[in-house]
C-alpha cells in the first residue's frame, strides 16, 4: 500500500510502498477514504512531541471504509486506552496513563490502508461526504471539548481561525454565543472568513476587541497569546489552550489572572466527546470548509498549514 512516511523528525515525509497492515483480534482493516491534516501532525513532524513511533504514518482525522463489511467509520486521535488506570476508571480516558494516539504512537491515515481498534472508531452519519467529514474528527472534536471547557462564556474569543475555529464558531453561534475572531496581523482574508461564519468582530491577535470577552480559546500555538487573551477577558473568564504544544508563555503580572480568571489546557478527547459532537454537528448544521489534495501532496499540505495559507481545513485523499 502507498503511504507517506515520517522516518525522522524534521525531515519531509517520504512516499513509500508498505506491506498491508494486518489486523489483530479486535482491530479492523480500514481503507482510508479521506484524512484531514492537523496542526498536531506538524508538531510531530517538527519533533515537538516526544517519542513518536518511527517510522510513522501521520494522520488522525480519518474517514475510512471497513474492508470486511464496507461500513464507513471515523477514526480520531484517541486510538487506545488501558481502561484500568485511575483516569480511565473515572471517565477521563483522555488522560489515560498508557493511551496510544493515532498518527503518533499508532500508524495513522496518510496511507491507503490502516488498522484500528474497533472500540475507538466512530459511526459516521450519512449527511457528510468523506472529505467533508474528515475535519470533524479532530478539528471538530477537540474544538468541541475546548468549547465545553470554556464554560458558558457568552462573548467568546477564538485565537487562530483555522480548521478547528471555523467549526467551533458554528457550534458556538448555534448555542447563542457571540464570536470575536483573532488572526495573524494583516490576515484580512481569514478575518473575512470569520465574519462569514458569524464572528461579529475580527481583528489581529494583538488588537483589543470592542468589548471584554467572557472566554477565549487559543488554537494558535503561540504562548504570548495567553497574556494577550487574559488582558481582554472579563472577570471570571477562562482562557482555554486547545493545542497539544505551545511556545513558552511569557511571564505576566498577577493582576491579569486576578478576579478568578483561569488558564487551562485541553488534552485529547474521550469517546464520549466524539459521540456527542458527531451527533450535534448535523443538527447545527456544522459545515466544514475543505480543500482536498492527493495523498502525495502531504508535504505541501503541511507547509501550507504552517504558513497559515488555508481557508478551513485541508484533507488528503489517497
Ligand atoms: Zn488533531
Ligand atoms: Zn487508562
- Region 143-152: what's the mean pLDDT? 97
- As residues whose CB is below 5 A from the ion ligand 2, the structure lists 81-82, 85, 88, 96
Stretch 23-34: mean pLDDT, rounded? 98
Integer Cα distance of 217 and 184 in angstroms: 15
Tell me the pTM: 0.95
Ligand nearest to the CA of 61: 1
Q: Are 194 and 162 in contact (CB under 8 A)?
A: no
Res. 34 pLDDT band, cuts 50 70 90: very high
Give the model's pLDDT for residue 308.
Answer: 85
Run of H or E including 163: helix 163-174
Q: How confident is the model at residue 272 (pLDDT cuts 50, 70, 90)?
A: very high
Find cell 517538527 and name the residue. Answer: 46
Separation of 95 CA from ligand 2 center, angstroms?
A: 7
> Would the pLDDT of 113 be above 90?
yes
Q: 10 Å Cβ neighbour count for 59?
A: 31
Give the pLDDT mean for 272-295.
Answer: 97
CA 83 to chain CA centroid, nearest Å: 23
Ligand 1 midpoint to CA 213 (Å):
26
Q: What is the Å distance from ligand 2's center to 69 Cα?
A: 30
Supply 70's cell numbers.
Answer: 464496507
Q: Which pLDDT does position 188 carry in this prediction?
A: 95
Residue 125 has pLDDT above 90, yes or no: no
Please give the share of the chain, as a percent, with pLDDT higher than 90.
99
Closest by CA to 60, choosing from 99, 24, 101, is: 101
Q: Tens digit of pLDDT for each residue in 77-89?
A: 999 999 999 999 9
Q: What percent of the chain has pLDDT over 70?
A: 100
- CA 224 from centroid of its chain's CA atoms: 20
HSE toward the beta carbon, residue 135, CA cutoff 13 A = 25
Q: Which ligand is nearest to the CA of 86?
A: 2
Helix axes 139-149, 163-174, angle to 10 degrees: 50
Ligand with the closest atom to the CA of 78: 1
Amino acid at each position: 500500500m502507498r503511504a507517506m512516511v515520517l522516518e525522522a523528525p524534521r525531515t519531509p515525509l517520504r512516499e513509500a510502498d508498505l506491506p498491508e497492515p494486518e489486523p489483530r483480534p479486535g482491530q479492523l482493516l480500514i481503507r482510508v477514504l479521506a484524512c484531514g491534516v492537523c496542526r498536531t501532525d506538524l508538531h510531530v513532524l517538527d519533533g515537538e512531541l516526544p517519542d513518536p513511533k518511527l517510522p510513522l504514518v501521520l494522520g488522525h482525522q480519518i474517514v475510512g471504509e471497513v474492508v470486511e463489511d464496507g461500513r464507513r467509520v471515523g477514526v480520531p486521535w484517541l486510538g487506545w486506552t488501558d481502561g484500568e488506570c485511575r483516569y480511565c476508571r473515572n471517565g477521563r480516558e483522555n488522560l489515560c496513563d498508557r493511551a496510544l494516539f493515532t498518527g503518533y504512537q499508532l500508524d495513522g491515515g496518510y496511507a491507503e490502508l490502516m488498522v484500528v481498534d474497533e472500540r475507538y472508531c466512530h459511526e459516521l452519519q450519512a449527511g457528510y461526504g468523506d472529505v467533508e467529514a474528515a475535519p470533524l474528527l479532530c478539528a471538530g472534536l477537540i474544538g468541541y471539548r475546548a468549547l465545553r471547557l470554556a464554560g458558558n462564556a457568552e462573548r467568546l474569543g477564538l485565537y487562530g481561525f483555522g480548521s478547528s475555529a471555523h467549526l467551533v464558531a458554528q457550534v458556538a453561534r448555534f448555542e447563542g454565543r457571540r464570536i470575536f475572531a483573532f488572526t495573524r496581523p494583516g490576515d484580512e482574508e481569514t478575518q473575512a472568513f470569520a465574519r462569514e461564519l458569524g464572528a461579529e468582530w475580527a481583528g489581529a491577535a494583538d488588537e483589543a476587541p470592542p468589548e471584554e470577552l467572557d472566554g477565549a480559546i487559543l488554537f494558535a500555538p503561540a504562548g504570548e497569546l495567553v497574556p494577550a487573551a487574559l488582558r481582554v477577558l472579563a472577570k471570571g473568564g477562562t482562557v482555554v489552550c486547545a493545542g497539544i504544544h505551545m511556545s513558552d508563555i511569557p511571564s505576566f503580572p498577577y493582576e491579569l489572572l486576578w478576579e478568578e480568571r483561569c488558564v487551562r489546557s485541553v488534552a485529547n478527547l474521550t469517546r464520549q466527546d466524539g459521540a456527542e459532537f458527531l451527533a450535534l454537528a448535523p443538527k447545527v448544521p456544522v459545515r466544514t470548509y475543505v480543500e482536498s489534495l492527493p495523498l502525495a501532496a502531504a508535504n505541501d499540505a503541511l507547509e501550507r498549514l504552517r504558513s497559515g495559507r488555508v481557508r478551513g481545513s485541508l484533507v488528503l485523499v489517497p
